[in-house]
Homo-oligomer: A and B are copies of this chain.
Amino acid sequence: MSKRLIDHLIDYVKLDIAPFHTPGHKRTSGTYDYLEKISYRCDLTEIEGFDNLHGANGILKDAMIRASEIYQSERTFFSVNGSSAGILAGIRAATKRGDDIIVARNCHKSVYNAIELCGLSPHFIMPQRYNPFKIYGAISPDDVKNSIKQYPKAALIVITSPTYEGIISDIRAICDEAHINNIPVIIDEAHGAHLGFLDKSIENAISCGADIVVHSAHKTLSSLTQTALVHANGNLIDVDELEWQLSVFQTTSPSYLLMASLDGCIDYIKYNKENAFEKWLSNLEKFEQMTKNLKHLRILKYASDTAGTHPAIYKFDKSKIIISTNGTSLNGATLASNLLNKYRIEHEMSLGSCVTMMTGMGTTACHLERLAEALIEIDASCKSAVNNSPSLIFSDMPYCAIPIEEARLASTEPVRLEQAEGRIIARYMWAYPPGAPFLIPGEIINGDLIKFISESSVNGTALKHNGKAFDGNIVVVKHK
């Protein structure tokens, strides 16, 4: 009970576990001098000569200009409150109360929070499905087109790309369709701050014309956890309003340590493209070579192999290693715990039959070799089996009975999962990670969902409901 957090952290680091999770700097020593220099000794504030993040016009303004130059955006803002603050600010800047917005149903919960905060009417688009891995795929531009036809006055479109599993949508086509109708597009590219750098054949959402793009710089690049970049382009977004809303959702005491890590990361990318991206890519290619003969475990292949050949995958982000246990006696959770306990390799997410390993700018050849060798060994001892891991993908959305806000404000009661069929859920439910709600307030709980939730619980998937670990009770709207 009384061990300090700092001692937990220090003790963990001593274990020398290979990190295939965020942050992207991977705690790799000796590479990032600006990270080495970060300490409480330079934990300063807005004193003489320093700048104010909110309305910057000095050294922070300069730093944000440097970031926009690297990304070729018109404006770039720092966030010290993660991509979450960027999403909240972007959506609030682009909408007014009561507006219709078109939203991919697999968005992060911060998008749902923004919908509630801003009093918006969401119209959801279901992502396509990539059944071989039982994961969601890309958002189809045709689905966006149809949604715009249905809601031509939509104030905004919000899409997540890449997904947590690295699947990229055709953002250019989506933006073109939106812009014909004068609708701005926010791309939650939290997982893709490296797009356009790591693999030249994949553009980022800025190049594709998105109006606001949000990057979790810490996820795959080399800034500290909790830092993000928010880019703005074009004239469909009021950039002053975006800047204002960013100040609403971020502390008035932003950490210079976090901001210096963001700026250091941008500077590193500018002057060390080879170290930052070329080595990372060639290490990934070596990993692919090493693991290409796996017999049981399957790895969602890089880029061109899958991309384009399946309608649910427009492109694939090479930085993600997605391992499927389908057809084996393992599931995602057992594979992940095997990797950790036997091989000291930590994953990012296990969900259903899949495990997501995240690489980042700091991932070393040594980390990847360790992972490849572990997978080869596990694969060799694997057995074929029918695997019924529950999956988080659904072909249909649950039926929405009442708006989110109405459900959130209604009188509620807890019911046991088994008794919840037909009831209106009053709080979100999601697995974390990825943190995209599969049930949102106002939706009706059906039999399929009950089956999925109960199977997930026994399969080690960490479900969250009502802001807490799911305990078998579901908060539903009280019968009148």
Contacts and interface: CB of A to CB of B under 8 A. Distances in A.
Interface of A: 1-6, 8-10, 12-13, 19, 21-23, 25, 27, 29, 32, 34-45, 47-50, 52, 54-55, 57, 59-60, 62-63, 65-66, 80-85, 96, 108-110, 113, 117, 216, 218-219, 224-226, 228, 240, 243-244, 247-261, 263-264, 267, 340, 346, 409, 432, 435, 464, 466-469
Contacts of A96: 409
A256 B38 contact: no
B435 A1 contact: no
Contact of A8 (B59, B267, B469): B59
B63 A5 contact: yes
B250 A62 contact: no
Given A59-B8, A84-B251, A244-B467, A39 B42 contact: no
A468 B243 CA distance: 10
A239 to B, nearest CB: 11
Given A253-B22, A263-B6, A41 B66 contact: no
A21 B45 contact: yes
Contacts of A469: 55, 57
B340 A55 contact: no
Contacts of A47: 12, 19, 21, 346
A83 B435 CA distance: 25
B27 A82 contact: no
A191 B25 CA distance: 35
Nearest to A52: B432
Contacts of A49: 8, 12
The 9 closest A-B pairs by CB, nearest first: A82-B251, A9-B42, A35-B40, A5-B260, A226-B255, A5-B263, A6-B260, A6-B34, A55-B468
A42 B435 contact: no
A78 to B, nearest CB: 10
Nearest to A467: B244
A135 to B, nearest CB: 20
A193 to B, nearest CB: 13
A43 to B, nearest CB: 5
Given A19-B47, A80-B226, 16 more contacts: A2-B66, A4-B63, A4-B264, A5-B263, A10-B42, A27-B44, A36-B39, A47-B346, A48-B346, A84-B251, A117-B248, A219-B253, A225-B257, A243-B467, A244-B466, A252-B432
A84 to B, nearest CB: 5
A435 B252 contact: yes
B4 A260 contact: yes
Contacts of A466: 240, 244
B263 A43 contact: no
Nearest to A216: B253
Nearest to A405: B97
Nearest to A257: B224
B42 A256 contact: no
30 contacts: A2-B62, A6-B261, A6-B263, A9-B42, A9-B256, A12-B42, A12-B50, A13-B41, A13-B44, A19-B47, A25-B40, A27-B41, A35-B39, A35-B40, A36-B40, A38-B39, A39-B39, A40-B224, A43-B224, A43-B225, A48-B340, A54-B467, A55-B468, A80-B226, A108-B252, A109-B252, A110-B252, A216-B253, A240-B466, A243-B467
